[in-house]
Amino acid sequence: MAVSDPDLLEGAALMARLEGVDACPEGGAVVAAVRALLGRGTLARDDRVVVFNTGAGVLYGRDFK
């Protein structure tokens, strides 16, 4: 599933705000995809989802934030 750059940035910011995780762009993309799948009804709100954030946002510089 593809997500837009603004959506992945929003997903990374959401991870930081809610979980205290400095997410990498890939982690933000997964959060954005989960949100999209929730919106489509593909995932239910009570489904359990594991997000593997394999990097750190700090490594991507200020343009990422």
* pTM exceeding 0.75: yes
Amino acid 21: pLDDT: 87
Locate the domains of the chain by residue range.
Answer: 5-60
Rounded to whole angstroms, the Cα distance separating 61 from 45 reads 33
Burial of 63 (0-12, 13-18, 19+ CB in 10 A): exposed
pLDDT in tens, 5-20: 999 999 999 998 999 9
Amino acid 46: pLDDT: 96
pLDDT in tens, 20-52: 988 888 999 999 999 999 999 999 999 999 988
Question: Do 23 and 16 meet the contact criterion of CB atoms below 8 Å apart?
Answer: yes
Please identify which residue in the block is written with the tokens 């489904």: 47
User: What tokens does 32 get?
Assistant: 């954005």
Question: Do 28 and 11 meet the contact criterion of CB atoms below 8 Å apart?
Answer: yes
